[in-house]
Amino acid sequence: MSMSQTITDFVTLAIQAGGWMDLDRLYLQNRILGMIGAESIETVAPQVVSKSSLELLDELVSEAVKNGAVENDVSAREIFEAQLMDFLTPPPSVVNALFAQYYEKDPAAATDYFYKLSKENDYIKTRAIAKNILFPAKTEYGDLEITINLSRPEKDPKQIAAERQAVKVDYPKCLLCMENEGYKGRIDHPARTNHRIIRMNLDGESWGFQYSPYAYYNEHAIILSEEHRPMVISKDTFRRLLKITEVLPHYFVGSNADLPIVGGSILSHDHYQAGRHVFPMEKADIEYYFELKEFPLMNAGIVKWPMSVIRLQSPKSEDLIEAAAYILEKWRHYSDEDVSIQAFSEDGTPHHTVTPIARRKGPLFELDLVLRDNNVTAEYPDGIFHPHQDVQHIKKENIGLIEVMGLAVLPPRLNEELHEVEKYVLEQDHQIADYHKLWADQMKEKYTFDDQNAKDIIQTEVGQIFARVLADAGVYKRTIEGQAAFKRFIDIL
């Protein structure tokens, strides 16, 4: 395929995306020609484009590298790719107008449009995400979902060195700020030229709706405050989450907790995560119903889950907001020394919060409140309710919103390490990490391994460890003593 054909096809896709007209064709061709460092283009009749936007992008970038128009390193290429894909992305005002048009017909049609655009313009890194390893793991709580996250690109040593030398810039303040929309990017901040945000009004406040570039599940969305302010869980949080389920009834939405150890990775910017995915926790049943004194008509119960989850259901969102605020307030001040639960340190530092998740169930609003406690002790310096030392060979990072709901996001190191574990249990030449040895020996005692079953057994056992990780993060253990303590808390409600 000639470069003239590639440019013509790319421009055809740009016009189809809705940001340009046929009259803009020559202008666009010349802009792209200049960017890739080529001198001229032959006239090619526009036709039905047979290649994907990503295939055409690769051809344009290869030509630019060949012509010396872009340096062949990760950061420079990423910035250049986003600038090219900006042609396939209408301006924010147009994207918002098109979203609104689709939304009038059906909220799902609006998100379908925006999701498709975000994939085709390479804002959502579909090719990188495809590298992730996914498998289900059967446990007593149903099938948990395990991912080994290989999507984030490895930085090369040159880039790491350049980032160290880079002048520190405080703009945008963080990766979630609205100021990222259209930002060129730099060595230590990702390219965002092709990034668009749908504006949302949540109770008179300006928020934005976007997709996650490295999605962990289907239609992984982020809903962020226009104001750069810290994460806070409050009555307003519950109100916003339930409002979002009214605006996007086909999406769940949840918030990370607002304390370190039990929170997410970005606590500096108020935001929620949403999407079109049914997590294992949503499928889990209520195993113990109770009545909230103040809200006799509400369904309330404890969910059969390794973490400590209270589920509320009501056709009235306002009742759920009040009930959730009431439970949060009680939990923030609740201590039970018998099971190491302490609301405040001696200096008054708070340790209790919740991870809330909202969704629609037909006419009902449903809200899950996962009780969290971030205390540490000499025995558990990483957190009493955090993955304990003996499972940190698989997962030692914070247990945030996504894990809470039953989707493990495991570090990329495990891809290689589990191959070595497999060789070890099959008694082949191996380079098993020391910290996996005890676990591997335990598996060897329990199973007879062969070439056919080794991988499946190891994946099953990783799932069991993830269930244990969640149990470690659960404030009330699934023992007779733990469940009795949970009911003591329920009784004060």
Q: pLDDT tens for residues 97-140? A: 999 999 999 999 999 999 999 999 999 999 999 999 999 999 99
3-class SS at 7? helix
Tokens standing for 411?
A: 């570090």
Task: For residue 234, give every residue at least 6 positions away whose Cβ sits within 8 Å of its Cβ, in sequence order, or none.
Answer: 325, 328
Give the pLDDT band (50/70/90) at residue 203. Answer: confident
Taking residue 426's Cβ as centre, other Cβ atoms within 10 Å add up to: 13
Spatial separation of the C-alpha atoms in residues 444 and 424, rounded to whole Å? 9
Q: Which helix (H) or strand (E) holds 309?
A: strand 309-314
For residue 17, the one-letter residue type is A
Percent of the chain with pLDDT over 70: 98
Q: What is the pLDDT of residue 155?
A: 62
Domain coordinates in residue numbering, the chain: 216-385
Alpha carbon of residue 185 to chain centroid: 21
Spatial separation of the C-alpha atoms in residues 300 and 293, rounded to whole Å? 11
Is pLDDT above 70 for 217?
yes
Give the pLDDT band (50/70/90) at residue 265. Answer: confident
Alpha carbon of residue 34 to chain centroid: 37
Residue with tokens 């495809």: 130
Spatial separation of the C-alpha atoms in residues 262 and 385, rounded to whole Å? 8
Long-range contacts of 437-444 (CB under 8 A, 24+ apart): 439/393, 439/465
Q: DSSP readout, 368-437?
A: EEEEEE----SS-TT-TTS--GGGTTT--S---HHHHTTEEEE-THHHHHHHHHHHHHTTSS----HHHH
8 A C-beta contact, residue 19 and residue 89: yes
Give the pLDDT band (50/70/90) at residue 156. Answer: low
Which CA distances in Å does 202 have to 36, 257, 303, 482? 42, 20, 29, 38
Which CA distances in Å does 446 have to 103, 143, 439, 442, 457? 55, 22, 11, 6, 10
Give the pLDDT band (50/70/90) at residue 486. Answer: very high
Spatial separation of the C-alpha atoms in residues 418 and 462, rounded to whole Å? 10
Taking residue 159's Cβ as centre, other Cβ atoms within 10 Å add up to: 17
Task: For residue 167, give every residue at least 6 positions away whose Cβ sits within 8 Å of its Cβ, in sequence order, or none.
Answer: none
Which CA distances in Å does 81 have to 87, 157, 214? 10, 21, 16
Sort strands 407-410 and 142-148 into parallel, antiparallel or unpaired.
Answer: parallel
Nearest in space to 149 (alpha carbons), one of 128, 123, 126: 128
Can you tell me the mean pLDDT for 382-411? 95
Q: What is the pLDDT of residue 27?
A: 98
Is pLDDT above 80 for 96?
yes
Rg over CA atoms, the chain:
25
Q: What is the pLDDT of residue 47?
A: 93
Is pLDDT above 70 for 157?
no
Spatial separation of the C-alpha atoms in residues 246 and 242, rounded to whole Å? 7
For the stretch 295-342, pLDDT in tens is 988 999 999 999 999 999 999 999 999 999 999 999 999 999 999 999
Task: For residue 21, give every residue at least 6 positions away whose Cβ sits within 8 Å of its Cβ, in sequence order, or none.
Answer: 15
8 A C-beta contact, residue 336 and residue 357: no
Sign of the dihedral through C-alpha 190, 196, 197, 199: positive
Percent of the chain with pLDDT over 90: 92
For the stretch 320-331, pLDDT in tens is 999 999 999 999
